[in-house]
Amino acid sequence: MDILLYNPLSRNGKNEKFIQKVVNHLQKDGNTVVSYNILAIDDVEKFASNCTKDDRIIIVGGDGTINRLANRLYNFDFQQDLFMYQAGTGNDFARSLKTKLKVVPIKPYIKKLPVVRYQDTFRYFLNGAGAGLDGYIGHLVNTSKYKKNKLNYFRHAFEGFAKFKPISAEITIDGKTWREEKVWLASIMNGPYFGGGMKVAPHAERTKNDIHLVVLKDIPKWLLVIIFPTIYFGWHLIFKSFVKVHVGKEVELHFDKPTYLQIDGDVEYPISQFSAKAFE
């Protein structure tokens, strides 16, 4: 049996009709399909334990939906195979898996995730956790009157350029500490992509137990407008004076003033420090 888990609030609130299309698609392959609103499941562990071992659990959604479920299931030893049906606006997680499958097996990947800690709490993350301009753009997108898509992410990126002011940061990676005075963004990445296909950490691989810290710093605003679009192709790394990538297992950042933090697109504010650790 195929068991679909979906978030009715995704796809800009128009997910119910899409779910029916997914059900019809899977039924054409001869599968028995049932669907459940993930927001109505209070105890995910109990729900999974009531499924048979041969059932396929299929998450319908993008990075945000998968992140929330992964955090609820991370330490639970469920027996079923876990898949995602690509249906989000960003799909950076699926993009990093380099697959053309519509129903993608994901269990091996969500059982080995890095953890981010902030404000006396923690969360596992799929793609990245970033502060500064990264988080501020996420805030603009999440509170926008426009639909979530790549075009409007780009639109709000330029709004962010105009309004955001660089911040100072103390950075520690694997015990080595230094200070940067004019940081535009500091993103800790588990995979290459954020923002719906921006290849911010081209060499990050989620199968390796390390994380990549990407720092954009000391960039004049006029040059940032030029550099930012090149992130879609991973070309920003050629601007070596302004773009630094550090690889390690533990990262901690302290900022001189409160800023925005995005975790797989979900935004927290205000935060003045956060840390992350690669999976073990």
pLDDT for res 88: 63
State the Cα torsion 211-261-202-162 to the nearest 10°.
Answer: -150
Which of 45-49, 86-90, 155-159 tops mean pLDDT?
155-159
Q: List alpha helices for the chain, DSSP H.
A: 10-13, 15-28, 44-49, 63-73, 92-96, 107-110, 133-142, 150-163, 221-230
**What is the share, in percent, of the chain residues with pLDDT greater than 70?**
96
Average pLDDT rounded to a whole number, residues 257-271: 95
Average pLDDT rounded to a whole number, residues 269-273: 96
Please name which of 278, 258, 280 lies closest in space to residue 269, comparing C-alpha atoms.
Answer: 258
Give the pLDDT band of residue 11 (cuts 50, 70, 90): low
CB 276 within 8 A of CB 117: yes
Q: How many residues does the chain have?
A: 280
3-state secondary structure of 221: helix
pLDDT for res 13: 52
Gap between the Cα atoms of 34 and 249, Å rounded: 40
pLDDT for res 135: 95
> Who wins on pLDDT, 202 or 111?
202
The first and second tokens of residue 68, run together, are 């929330």
Answer yes or no: is pLDDT of 209 > 60. Answer: yes
Please name which of 195, 179, 278, 275 lies closest in space to residue 234, comparing C-alpha atoms.
Answer: 195
Give the pLDDT band of residue 14 (cuts 50, 70, 90): low
pLDDT for res 17: 77
Model's pTM, two decimal places? 0.90
pLDDT for res 172: 98
For the stretch 225-255, pLDDT in tens is 999 989 999 999 999 999 999 999 999 999 9
Answer yes or no: is pLDDT of 268 > 90. Answer: yes
Give the pLDDT band of residue 275 (cuts 50, 70, 90): very high
pLDDT for res 153: 80
Answer yes or no: is pLDDT of 54 > 90. Answer: no
Give the pLDDT band of residue 163 (cuts 50, 70, 90): very high
- As a whole number, the mean pLDDT across the chain is 90
CB 44 within 8 A of CB 73: yes
| Residue-range domain boundaries for the chain | 2-111, 116-277
Average pLDDT rounded to a whole number, residues 130-137: 95
Answer yes or no: is pLDDT of 15 > 70. Answer: no
**What is the share, in percent, of the chain residues with pLDDT greater than 90?**
53
Q: Which residue has the tokens 């630094």?
A: 244
Answer yes or no: is pLDDT of 90 > 80. Answer: no
pLDDT for res 50: 84
Give the pLDDT band of residue 72 (cuts 50, 70, 90): confident
Give 91's contacts (C-beta < 8 A, 6+ positions apart).
62, 63, 196
Which backbone phi and psi does 144 adopt, to 5 degrees? -75, 150
CB 5 within 8 A of CB 59: yes
pLDDT for res 12: 55
Answer yes or no: is pLDDT of 150 > 80. Answer: no
Please name which of 128, 116, 111 lies closest in space to residue 245, comparing C-alpha atoms.
Answer: 128
Task: Count the Cβ atoms, other than its own, within 10 Å of residue 94.
Answer: 23
Which backbone phi and psi does 223 adopt, to 5 degrees? -75, -30
One CATH from 3.90.1260.10, 2.60.200.40, 3.40.50.300, 1.10.10.10 for 116-277: 2.60.200.40
Average pLDDT rounded to a whole number, residues 174-196: 96
- CATH architecture of the domain formed by 2-111: 3-Layer(aba) Sandwich (3.40)
Average pLDDT rounded to a whole number, residues 12-37: 80
